[in-house]
Amino acid sequence: MSSPAPFVYCPPQEPLQTVYEDQDLLVIHKPAGLLSVMGRLPEHQDSAYLRVLKQHPQAKVTHRLDMATSGLLIFAKHREAEVAVSKMFQARQVTKHYIALLQGEIQLDGSVDVPLITDWPNRPRQMVSFEHGKTAKTLFERINYNAETDISRVKLTPITGRSHQLRVHMAHIGHPIMGDGLYHPEPSRFALPRMALHAAYLAFQQPLTQQKIELDLPAPF
Protein backbone atom coordinates (compact mmCIF):
# COMPACT_ATOMS: atom_id res chain seq x y z
CA MET A 1 0.00 0.00 0.00
CA SER A 2 1.40 3.37 -0.98
CA SER A 3 1.75 6.00 1.73
CA PRO A 4 -0.51 9.06 1.53
CA ALA A 5 0.82 12.09 -0.28
CA PRO A 6 2.36 14.69 2.06
CA PHE A 7 0.11 17.58 3.01
CA VAL A 8 0.74 20.72 0.96
CA TYR A 9 -0.92 23.87 2.29
CA CYS A 10 -2.44 25.89 -0.56
CA PRO A 11 -4.91 28.32 1.02
CA PRO A 12 -7.34 30.29 -1.14
CA GLN A 13 -6.02 33.75 -1.90
CA GLU A 14 -9.20 35.77 -2.36
CA PRO A 15 -9.65 38.62 0.17
CA LEU A 16 -11.53 37.82 3.35
CA GLN A 17 -15.20 38.75 3.34
CA THR A 18 -16.37 40.85 6.31
CA VAL A 19 -19.83 39.76 7.44
CA TYR A 20 -20.16 42.04 10.49
CA GLU A 21 -18.03 44.71 12.15
CA ASP A 22 -18.34 47.16 15.04
CA GLN A 23 -15.90 48.94 17.32
CA ASP A 24 -15.22 45.74 19.27
CA LEU A 25 -15.78 42.75 16.98
CA LEU A 26 -15.06 41.56 13.47
CA VAL A 27 -16.87 38.57 11.95
CA ILE A 28 -15.51 37.17 8.70
CA HIS A 29 -16.40 34.42 6.26
CA LYS A 30 -13.46 32.04 6.56
CA PRO A 31 -13.12 30.07 3.33
CA ALA A 32 -12.53 26.33 3.34
CA GLY A 33 -8.83 25.54 3.06
CA LEU A 34 -7.61 28.49 5.14
CA LEU A 35 -6.26 27.97 8.67
CA SER A 36 -8.00 29.96 11.40
CA VAL A 37 -4.67 30.73 13.11
CA MET A 38 -1.03 30.43 12.16
CA GLY A 39 0.57 26.98 12.21
CA ARG A 40 3.99 26.19 13.67
CA LEU A 41 5.81 25.85 10.34
CA PRO A 42 6.75 28.90 8.24
CA GLU A 43 4.75 27.60 5.28
CA HIS A 44 1.64 27.42 7.51
CA GLN A 45 1.63 31.06 8.59
CA ASP A 46 -1.02 32.30 6.17
CA SER A 47 -4.29 32.20 8.10
CA ALA A 48 -7.47 34.12 8.79
CA TYR A 49 -5.89 35.59 11.92
CA LEU A 50 -2.73 36.75 10.16
CA ARG A 51 -4.82 38.42 7.45
CA VAL A 52 -7.02 40.12 10.07
CA LEU A 53 -3.93 41.38 11.94
CA LYS A 54 -2.80 43.28 8.86
CA GLN A 55 -5.91 45.47 9.15
CA HIS A 56 -6.43 45.28 12.92
CA PRO A 57 -3.04 44.89 14.67
CA GLN A 58 -4.63 44.52 18.14
CA ALA A 59 -7.05 41.76 17.07
CA LYS A 60 -7.44 38.65 19.24
CA VAL A 61 -8.66 35.13 18.49
CA THR A 62 -11.94 34.16 20.17
CA HIS A 63 -12.67 30.74 18.63
CA ARG A 64 -11.59 28.64 15.65
CA LEU A 65 -12.90 26.65 12.72
CA ASP A 66 -11.14 23.63 11.25
CA MET A 67 -9.10 24.44 8.16
CA ALA A 68 -11.50 22.42 5.98
CA THR A 69 -14.59 24.14 7.42
CA SER A 70 -15.92 27.42 6.03
CA GLY A 71 -18.13 30.00 7.66
CA LEU A 72 -18.57 32.59 10.37
CA LEU A 73 -15.50 33.32 12.51
CA ILE A 74 -15.37 36.00 15.23
CA PHE A 75 -12.30 38.08 16.13
CA ALA A 76 -12.08 40.59 18.96
CA LYS A 77 -10.51 43.93 18.07
CA HIS A 78 -8.93 44.49 21.49
CA ARG A 79 -8.20 42.75 24.78
CA GLU A 80 -11.39 43.83 26.61
CA ALA A 81 -13.51 42.43 23.80
CA GLU A 82 -11.49 39.20 23.78
CA VAL A 83 -12.19 38.62 27.47
CA ALA A 84 -15.88 39.44 27.08
CA VAL A 85 -16.36 37.17 24.06
CA SER A 86 -14.43 34.33 25.69
CA LYS A 87 -16.74 34.51 28.73
CA MET A 88 -19.74 34.56 26.38
CA PHE A 89 -18.58 31.34 24.70
CA GLN A 90 -17.75 29.67 28.03
CA ALA A 91 -21.23 30.50 29.33
CA ARG A 92 -22.73 29.02 26.12
CA GLN A 93 -24.48 32.29 25.36
CA VAL A 94 -23.80 31.95 21.61
CA THR A 95 -26.35 30.19 19.42
CA LYS A 96 -24.68 28.61 16.41
CA HIS A 97 -25.35 25.99 13.83
CA TYR A 98 -23.63 24.43 10.85
CA ILE A 99 -24.85 23.08 7.53
CA ALA A 100 -23.38 19.77 6.37
CA LEU A 101 -23.80 17.13 3.70
CA LEU A 102 -23.78 13.61 5.15
CA GLN A 103 -23.41 10.20 3.54
CA GLY A 104 -26.68 8.26 3.68
CA GLU A 105 -30.22 9.15 4.68
CA ILE A 106 -30.98 10.91 7.95
CA GLN A 107 -34.59 9.93 8.54
CA LEU A 108 -35.25 11.53 11.93
CA ASP A 109 -33.89 14.48 13.88
CA GLY A 110 -31.83 13.49 16.88
CA SER A 111 -28.69 13.96 18.93
CA VAL A 112 -25.30 12.36 19.51
CA ASP A 113 -24.06 12.37 23.10
CA VAL A 114 -20.76 10.48 23.21
CA PRO A 115 -17.45 11.59 24.81
CA LEU A 116 -14.40 12.45 22.74
CA ILE A 117 -10.65 12.36 23.24
CA THR A 118 -7.59 13.04 21.11
CA ASP A 119 -6.30 9.98 19.24
CA TRP A 120 -2.73 10.79 20.24
CA PRO A 121 -0.85 8.37 17.92
CA ASN A 122 -2.91 9.71 15.01
CA ARG A 123 -3.14 13.43 15.74
CA PRO A 124 -5.01 15.58 14.83
CA ARG A 125 -7.65 12.84 14.78
CA GLN A 126 -10.11 12.64 17.64
CA MET A 127 -12.03 9.54 18.71
CA VAL A 128 -14.88 8.32 20.88
CA SER A 129 -13.80 7.14 24.33
CA PHE A 130 -16.44 6.33 26.92
CA GLU A 131 -13.73 5.69 29.52
CA HIS A 132 -11.48 8.72 29.10
CA GLY A 133 -13.27 11.16 26.76
CA LYS A 134 -14.76 14.55 27.58
CA THR A 135 -18.51 15.07 27.34
CA ALA A 136 -19.64 16.07 23.84
CA LYS A 137 -23.12 16.58 22.45
CA THR A 138 -24.41 17.46 18.98
CA LEU A 139 -27.98 17.96 17.76
CA PHE A 140 -28.79 17.12 14.15
CA GLU A 141 -31.81 18.08 12.07
CA ARG A 142 -32.67 16.78 8.61
CA ILE A 143 -33.16 19.42 5.91
CA ASN A 144 -33.52 17.19 2.85
CA TYR A 145 -32.28 13.96 1.26
CA ASN A 146 -31.08 13.34 -2.30
CA ALA A 147 -31.80 9.69 -3.10
CA GLU A 148 -29.82 9.86 -6.35
CA THR A 149 -26.58 10.73 -4.56
CA ASP A 150 -27.53 9.18 -1.19
CA ILE A 151 -26.67 12.42 0.58
CA SER A 152 -28.53 14.20 3.39
CA ARG A 153 -28.36 17.95 4.00
CA VAL A 154 -28.56 18.60 7.73
CA LYS A 155 -28.35 21.35 10.32
CA LEU A 156 -25.87 20.55 13.09
CA THR A 157 -25.97 22.33 16.45
CA PRO A 158 -23.00 21.72 18.76
CA ILE A 159 -23.96 21.91 22.44
CA THR A 160 -20.32 21.48 23.45
CA GLY A 161 -17.27 22.62 21.51
CA ARG A 162 -14.81 19.72 21.32
CA SER A 163 -12.21 19.54 18.58
CA HIS A 164 -13.61 17.87 15.42
CA GLN A 165 -16.82 17.19 17.37
CA LEU A 166 -19.27 17.41 14.49
CA ARG A 167 -17.05 15.36 12.21
CA VAL A 168 -16.47 12.54 14.71
CA HIS A 169 -20.08 12.45 15.89
CA MET A 170 -21.49 12.16 12.38
CA ALA A 171 -18.99 9.43 11.47
CA HIS A 172 -19.85 7.66 14.74
CA ILE A 173 -23.52 7.33 13.76
CA GLY A 174 -22.58 6.03 10.30
CA HIS A 175 -23.17 9.26 8.36
CA PRO A 176 -19.75 10.86 7.82
CA ILE A 177 -19.48 14.36 6.38
CA MET A 178 -18.87 14.33 2.64
CA GLY A 179 -15.31 15.20 1.65
CA ASP A 180 -13.95 14.72 5.18
CA GLY A 181 -10.41 13.51 4.63
CA LEU A 182 -10.01 12.33 8.23
CA TYR A 183 -13.26 10.59 9.06
CA HIS A 184 -14.97 9.63 5.80
CA PRO A 185 -13.81 6.20 4.54
CA GLU A 186 -14.17 7.44 0.94
CA PRO A 187 -13.61 11.21 1.12
CA SER A 188 -13.54 11.64 -2.66
CA ARG A 189 -16.71 9.63 -3.29
CA PHE A 190 -18.76 12.76 -3.97
CA ALA A 191 -17.26 15.28 -6.39
CA LEU A 192 -16.80 18.15 -3.93
CA PRO A 193 -13.49 20.04 -3.88
CA ARG A 194 -13.81 20.48 -0.10
CA MET A 195 -15.36 19.12 3.07
CA ALA A 196 -19.10 19.86 3.17
CA LEU A 197 -19.25 21.57 6.58
CA HIS A 198 -20.10 25.25 6.95
CA ALA A 199 -20.57 27.47 10.03
CA ALA A 200 -23.75 29.14 8.81
CA TYR A 201 -25.37 30.88 11.79
CA LEU A 202 -24.38 32.88 14.86
CA ALA A 203 -26.64 34.75 17.28
CA PHE A 204 -25.51 36.46 20.47
CA GLN A 205 -25.73 39.63 22.51
CA GLN A 206 -22.69 41.81 21.93
CA PRO A 207 -21.16 41.63 25.42
CA LEU A 208 -19.90 45.23 25.53
CA THR A 209 -22.81 47.08 23.90
CA GLN A 210 -25.63 44.58 24.62
CA GLN A 211 -26.72 44.82 20.98
CA LYS A 212 -28.41 41.67 19.68
CA ILE A 213 -26.54 40.27 16.69
CA GLU A 214 -27.82 37.58 14.34
CA LEU A 215 -25.75 36.44 11.36
CA ASP A 216 -26.78 33.97 8.70
CA LEU A 217 -24.29 32.95 5.97
CA PRO A 218 -25.66 30.47 3.42
CA ALA A 219 -23.57 27.39 2.72
CA PRO A 220 -21.61 27.53 -0.56
CA PHE A 221 -22.55 23.93 -1.40
The pLDDT value given to residue 7: 76
66 in active site: yes
- The pLDDT of residue 192 is 79
Mean pLDDT per block of 10 residues along the chain (221 residues) reads 66 97 98 96 96 97 96 98 97 96 97 97 95 97 97 97 97 97 84 91 98 98 95
User: Could you say which of 66, 109, 150, 180 is catalytic?
Assistant: 66
* Per-residue model confidence (pLDDT) at position 193: 84
What number of other Cβ atoms are within 10 A of residue 204's Cβ?
19
pTM: 0.94
